[in-house]
A and B are shown apart, each in its own frame.
Chain A
Amino acid sequence: MATVFKRPHALKDLSMHYCPGCTHGIVHRLIAEVIDELGIEGKTIGVSPVGCTYNNYEYFNCDMVQAAHGRAPAVGTGIKRVNPDNLVFTYQGDGDLAAIGTAEIVHAATRGEKITSIFVNNAIYGMTSGQMAPTTLMNQVTTTSPFGRKPDLHGFPVKVCELLSTLEGAVYVERVSVHDIKNIMNAKKAIKKAFQIQMAGKGFAIVEILSTCPTNWGLKPVDALKWVQDKMIPFYPLGNFKGKDLEV
C-alpha cells in the first residue's frame, strides 16, 4: 500500500499550540503541502505575524521571519526586494492585517509587491482572548463588543478582498474557507495559484481564508465550522475577486 496522505515535509513534525479544532492548523498544512508540491521549500521565506500564529516560524521548514504586529507585508517587501528569486509568503490574522496593518497590506498590494499574502479571517482577536476585530460580524458578541457589535458604536465589518480587488497591483484576490472538505480542497487550489502567480512574477496575490475560533466564539470545534457556513459566508462571500483566468 502507498501512503496517500501524511504530514508535508515543509511542516515540521511538531505539535502546534493552537486550540483544539482551530483551523489555523489546516491552513498551515495546506501552505506546506503547496510548498512541497511546487518544490520551493528551499527558496521560500515565510513571515509570521503577531497574533495566535506569532510563532508559526517554528512550524515551517523554510526560512522564516517574525514581523511586528501588522507589518508583515512591509517585512515581506523588504525580503522580496533583496532576493527577488525567493518566494515570500506572509501569514496574517484579521487584527494584524485589517486593523493595525491596513496601510501595509493596501500599499504592498497597490505597489504590486510580488509576494503571497495568506489572510486568515476568523472575525475575532484570538491570542488576546476574544476582542472585536475589523471583521467581527454585526451583532457578534466579543469581549469588547459584549452587547454585540453595533454600527453606531463599532462601525461596520471590513471586506478585505473586495477592498483590495480595486487595486491594480493586486492581480489575484480570492476568498476561500476551510470549514468542510470541499472548501479545504478549494482553499488549497487558491493557495497554490497564489504561489504560482508569485513564481511567475505577476504581482500581488492574496488568499483570504475564513477560519474558526472555537475558544473565543464559545463554540465546540464542530459547531464552529457550521458558524462559518451559516454566519460568515453570507457576509463574506467565497470566490474569486481578481485574476480568476490569470494564466500561470
Chain B
Amino acid sequence: MGEKLLMKGNEVIAEAALRAGCKHYFGYPITPQTEIAHYMAKKMPEVDGVFVQAESEVAAINMVYGAAAAGARVLTSSSSPGISLKQEGISYIAGAELPCVIVNIVRCGPGLGGILPAQCDYFQAVKGGGHGDYKMVVLAPSSVQELYELTVDAFNIADKYRIVTMIMGDGILGQMMEAVEFRNQEEIIPADKSWATTGTEMKRDNNMVTSIYINPEMLEKHNQKLQAKYKQIEENETRVEVYNCENPDIIITAFGTVARIVKNVIKTAEKEGIKIGLIRPISLWPFPTQEFEKYAEVPKAFLSVELNAGQMVEDVKLAVNGKRPVHFYGRMGGMIPSQQEILDKVKEILK
C-alpha cells in the first residue's frame, strides 16, 4: 500500500475515481456531497479531464449517458433529492447497457427533508427508482477507506458488466475525515468498448446506443438478456462482512455507518455475556441472501438496524424466510441511534 492521508469522505470518492481512470465528471451542487464536485473542479484539469457543472441533476445524468456512450469512465454524484431527479436517466442508462458510477450521499427525507445522514434511499436504489425491470449494483461503504476501495471497484464492475454502479454512502461518511491508505497502482480492468459511439472512421458499421425496441419480441429478448446479466452479477459480485457470528444469541444486520455503531455494541454486550453477531451487506444489490440462508437458524432472532423506517429489513425477512423472527430498530430524520438504544432493543428481544 502507498500513501496514507487524513481525508474527508467526499474527497476520497473523487480521488478514487481519478485514480480509477475516470476523466469525466458531471454534477450539480447538493448538500452533503458537493465537496466531490469541488474536488473534481480542481483536479480534473490536472489530468486534462472534464468537469462540467450541469444545470440540473437531470441534465447531469444525461451528460453521463452521452459520455458513457462515447466509451468514457464517467462519474456523477448527488444526494437523495438529486438522485430522485436522475431516476429516468438511470433507467435509460440501464436499458442502453452503459457503464457509469453514481454516488448517492444519502440525506434524510422525504421531500426536502434535511441535510443530515440517513439510509432512507435503500428501496429506491435496490428495488429500482426508475421505470422498467432493471438493476443497479449498489455498494455501501462503512468507512472512508471503503469509500476509496469500493469506488475503484465500482468502475471495474460498471465496465465489466456495462451496468450502473452506485456508491451509497450517507452524510456522515461523506463529511467525516478518516485515515485512508491509497494503493500505489490501481487495478483498472480493461473492458471491450467497441460498441461505443466514437465515430466509425469509415472503418466499421455505425454503432447505435439506444434503449428503445419498438418490436415487443426484441424488447423481451433484450430484457431477458439484462436479467441473465443480473443473475451473473448476483453470483459473482455479492459482497458481505460476517462478524462474530460463530454462535451468537442474536445477529444484527446493518450497513454503512450503522454497522460501525453495532460493532461497538457487540463489544459492550460481550461484557454483559450477550453474544451478538453482525452480518453487514456491502453490496446492497446483489443482496447477500446466501449468507442469511447460511445463518438463518443460528441465532434466536435477527435485528435489522437502519437509518430509515425499515427497508433492508424486508430483504432480511425474505432471506431468513421465516426460520427466525426478524426485528427492526430504526431512527429517522437524521437522528443516529446510540449504542445504548441498540443494546436495549437487543435485550428486549432476547428477554
Contacts and interface: CB of A to CB of B under 8 A. Distances in A.
Given A41-B202, A63-B208, A66-B210, A104 B71 contact: no
B211 A78 contact: no
B197 A74 contact: no
Given A41-B202, A63-B207, A75 B24 contact: no
B56 A81 contact: no
Of the four ranges (under 10, 10 to 19, 20 to 34, 35 or more), the interface on chain B belongs to: 35 or more
Interface residues of A, number: 37
B200 A75 contact: no
A77 B51 CA distance: 12
B203 interface: yes
Contact of B67 (A58, A67, A71, A79): A79
A210 interface: no
A83 B52 contact: no
A60 B206 contact: yes
Given A58-B208, A68-B92, A104 B62 contact: yes
Interface string A35-68: 0000001111101100000110110111111111
Interface in B168-206: 197-203, 206
Contacts of A62: 199-200, 206
B206 A75 contact: no
A78 B65 contact: yes
Contacts of B74: 78, 82
A103 interface: yes
A86 interface: yes
Contacts of B293: none
A77 B200 CA distance: 19
B206 A66 contact: no
A55 B197 CA distance: 16
Nearest to A10: B206
Contact of A81 (B52, B88, B210): B52
A63 B59 contact: no
A78 B68 contact: yes
Nearest to B213: A55
Contacts of A104: 55, 59, 62
A63 B89 contact: no
A77 B50 CA distance: 11
12 contacts: A45-B70, A63-B207, A64-B206, A64-B207, A64-B209, A65-B66, A66-B209, A74-B54, A74-B58, A78-B68, A81-B63, A82-B70
